[in-house]
Amino acid sequence: MIRPATVHDVPAIRTMIRELAAYEKAEEQARASEEQLREALFGEHPAAYALIAEDDGTGEAVGYALWFPRFSTWTGTRGMHLEDLYVRPGARGGGHGRALLATLAALCRREGYDRFEWWVLGWNEPAIGFYSSLGVEFLDEWRVCRLSGEPLEELAARAPEAVGTARAV
């Protein structure tokens, strides 16, 4: 069963985020607290949304998908960015990942989103194979760019005064 996450799912989501980070060999980077996730998913201005995959027999959360809207200047429409898709190892092969993605694709259609995008690590062959089976288009010509830590601080310090005081929404 696939269902929208509730505030009661936050501990399970955080646990699965840490499991995903460990699989991706980056557990130390998964620092989000339950409080931060609760605010991000269920606060006054949610930053993201989540679905839960439950085992039909036990009702246990066996996976999740976390996504947020994005905007394309080229199409003039919103799209969806899938931040995380995770199914616990013992539940893989049971259709939960496909059901999560199908539910998100249906949400895209319902909301008029033209694009449904996410990233996959180049070494994650099982995920790449799974996505290929769905007809995913891999955009090899694009590179992910990230600023964080000291380089982010250094660039921010160079912002013109008027821009430097602008508030993100």
Is 131 part of the annotated catalytic residue set? Answer: yes
The rounded distance, in Å, linking the Cα atoms of 115 and 80 is: 6
Q: Which residues are CB-contacts of 127 (< 8 A; sequence separation ≥ 6)? A: 120, 121
* Candidate list 64, 86, 113, 131, residue with the active-site label: 131
Beta strands 2-4; 49-54: pairing state? antiparallel
The rounded distance, in Å, linking the Cα atoms of 82 and 128 is: 15
Neighbours of 83 (CB within 10 A): 15
165 DSSP 8-state letter: T
CA dihedral 98, 99, 105, 111 (to 10 degrees): -170
Strands of 2-4's sheet in order across: 2-4, 49-54, 61-72, 77-87, 116-118
Strand-pairing partners, residue 86, are: 64
By annotation, the residues acting in catalysis are 131
